[in-house]
Amino acid sequence: MPKIGKCILAGAGPGDIGLVTLRTKEAVEQADVIVYDYLSNPEILSWSRPDAEIIYAGKQAGAHTLSQTEINELMLQRAKDGKLVVRLKGGDPFVFGRGAEEAEILAQAGIPFEIVPGITSAIAVPAYAGIPVTQRGVTSS
């Protein structure tokens, strides 16, 4: 019986290579297969192994290289082939990234998976502009 692989849904951050998490970097370095989106900084791919399969999924508004169904099938098949698949998603996988849908598909298929959060632009942009997202005495929950 073949060994089942694993999928890692990893946040690629808001575009600045310096804001990619260490865990995402480690995942990319170990990956057999990397499926990446339009919003992922392509410099991240330089961390991949020379023998890694690199697949561009597109996901630019109105111009998808692969449909979501094709991406799901690709992840499932490569994991069933025993591969470590990294699904590299701009920002955070669970913020406008369909990460929850992909995690659900993986869970239904019995494929082990991990979620690696990423810094979302909703936090990074205000920080770079010097605008606190929360501030005592100004914002409240």
pLDDT tens digits, 53-97: 999 998 666 666 889 999 999 999 999 999 999 999 999 999 987
The residue type found at 35 is: V
Residue type, 46: S
Q: pTM to 2 decimals?
A: 0.90
Phi, psi (deg, nearest 5) at residue 45? -65, -20
pLDDT for 89-102, tens place per residue?
999 999 987 899 99
pLDDT at 65: 81
- DSSP string for residues in 76-118: HHHHHTT-EEEEEESB-TTSSS-HHHHHHHHHHTT--EEEE--
pLDDT higher than 70, residue 31: yes
Domains and CATH numbers, the chain: 6-128 (3.40.1010.10)
What is the helix (H) or strand (E) element at residue 33, kind and residue range? strand 33-37
Those residues with Cβ within 8 angstroms of residue 16's Cβ, 6 or more apart along the chain or in another chain:
41, 124
